[in-house]
Structure 1
Amino acid sequence: MIDNVCTMPSTQVTINTEDGACAATLHTPSSSGSWPAVILYPDAGGVRETFSAMADRLAGLGYAVLLPNVYYRTEYAPFDLATAFGDPDERKRLGELMATLTTERVVRDTAAFLDFLADRPEVAGTKVGTTGYCMGGRMSLTAAGHHPERIAAAASFHGGHLAAAEDPDSPHLLADRIRAALHVAAAENDSSFPAEQFERLEQALVSAGVRHTIATYPAAHGFAVADNPTYDVDAAERHWTALTELYGANLHS
């Protein structure tokens, strides 16, 4: 759980996608009204209590936050992030589940999420923000590249494989399509996003004229997610400040 976060109203919803019914929760501020929308993409461990608390905190900042079960196509037992990466069997199971989220599926699902949000009375305006963690960071940038007409602000925190030279679906190749303002926060010594990828992504964003901030936070991979053993309070608070500034500047008409 995240310390000092009030529980916000949330609604269990089902989003019809091309591949089936995706369960999700929609978190909103405690007051009545409508607000800009944000899609929160979880890390490899999927939706769990920690991410519900994070969605509540975002909602408390004045947003309607959609937290989808991105693994809705597959039944799976929950992961314990404190041990999953150290257990070979659990790490293998986690990798197999992550592999089900192809770029094509992420793009398709995001289209369904955006259509869903467009019809909700809790949502104001057409500008949508995204944020993601670990694999969700890549999803957030992929969404911004494939849905530039709707996504106005996108963030990635300790996201992996954002600019792999050999990957034809790498987010850095979408730079010339992105219209959103970006905040990319790398982790230190992160094998999933090494220095050469950092540089390649930054060069692509600069060349395409994308408004962006890219930085390495002084913390390990997983720093923003409270149930990760590498959770770092200072880096996590820096990430909340970054989101507040990014969305405040780009999601309000």
Structure 2
Amino acid sequence: MASFWEKITVDGQQMDMYAAVPSSSAGFSAPYPAVVVAQHATGVDAFIQDICDRLAADGYAAVAPSLYHRHNEEAIAASAAGGPRPSPATLLSDPDIVADMSAAVDWLLGHDAIQSDRIGVTGFCMGGRVAWLAAATNPNFRAVVPYYGGNLMTTWGSGETPPFDSANSIDCPMLFHFGEIDANPSQDDMRKIDAELDRLGKAHQFFTYAGADHAFMNPSGGRYHEDAAVASWPRTLEFFRQHLKG
């Protein structure tokens, strides 16, 4: 597995993007299926980079665009490490999120080493919301895996339609992971989302993990839940394997 930072241009500005690619020594050869990883609230940090690395170890080219590039990312990271941080909802706008995620997809599509018809998206915390929004606005995705994505019923910035209301535009299968005691998304939210996807005839699988809270995948966070993390990741890999490698 090899990893590096790339700079891509979005709306005339440069955006940093972390990338990890499979290793030929592990038996993988191009072209690769790919996964776009949407960051959580603290940015493209060690946790998000590790997720990309883990995907690369399983044969995917994985990229994580830095969605805070329109702001002072160092200041955001410092505030996150030391206490209160700006809310992502005050920093990000849905149209900008769509542009950034689409730019990451376009970068993948521009490489011969990528299977252009086998691109998935996943995301954690706010990234789960971003993954849903990306799947609803970009037809290139073949699978979407939100982890505890909250705030689906609200818009951010100059967004006009909440991600939840764009569910009919998602044309790829979804695997959604929920924590049982998470307040956002709550179990009531899960039931509402499930009913809407059923109504629309959208292919989806939901898993709820007993005793798990929000951010249960992040081992450096205070809400890490080992059982949920260990159970959910193989399900994610199997889901991507089915829809991006099958």
- Structure 1 equivalent of residue 140 of structure 2: 150
The reply on whether 1:203 has 2:203 as its aligned counterpart is no
- Structure 1 equivalent of residue 234 of structure 2: 241
Which of 220, 228, 231 aligns to 2:213? It is 220
Alignment of structure 1 residues 94-243 onto 2, 5 Å:
94-95=86-87, 97-147=88-138, 149-163=139-153, 169-218=161-210, 219-243=212-236
- Structure 2 equivalent of residue 3 of structure 1: none
Amino acid at match of 1:103: D
State TM-score, norm by structure 2. Answer: 0.88
The reply on whether 1:40 has 2:37 as its aligned counterpart is yes
Question: Identity rate of aligned residues, in percent?
Answer: 28
Q: Using the TM superposition, give the Cα deviation of residue 196 of structure 1 relative to its aligned residue in structure 2, in angstroms.
A: 2.7
Amino acid at match of 1:140: A
User: Does the residue aligned with 1:207 lie in a helix, a strand or coil?
Assistant: helix
Are the equivalent residues in 2 in contact too, given 1:163–1:198 (CA < 8 A)? Answer: no
Are the equivalent residues in 1 in contact too, given 2:119–2:143 (CA < 8 A)? Answer: yes
- Structure 1 equivalent of residue 22 of structure 2: 29
Structure 1's unaligned 5+ residue stretches are 1-7
User: Does the residue aligned with 1:114 lie in a helix, a strand or coil?
Assistant: helix
In structure 1, how many angstroms separate the alpha carbons of the residues matched to 2:224 and 2:161? 29
In structure 2, how many angstroms separate the alpha carbons of the residues matched to 1:100 and 1:145? 21
Pair 1:79–1:189, CA change in 2 (3 A): farther
Which of 49, 57, 62 aligns to 2:59? It is 62
Are the equivalent residues in 2 in contact too, given 1:44–1:94 (CA < 8 A)? Answer: no
Structure 2's unaligned 5+ residue stretches are none
The reply on whether 1:17 has 2:18 as its aligned counterpart is no
In structure 2, how many angstroms separate the alpha carbons of the residues matched to 1:196 and 1:94? 27
Q: Across the two proteins, how many residue pairs are aligned to each other?
A: 236
Amino acid at match of 1:190: D
Q: Using the TM superposition, give the Cα deviation of residue 172 of structure 1 relative to its aligned residue in structure 2, in angstroms.
A: 2.1
Q: Using the TM superposition, give the Cα deviation of residue 168 of structure 1 relative to its aligned residue in structure 2, in angstroms.
A: 5.8
Are the equivalent residues in 1 in contact too, given 2:117–2:142 (CA < 8 A)? Answer: no
Amino acid at match of 1:233: E
Moved over 3 A (4+): none
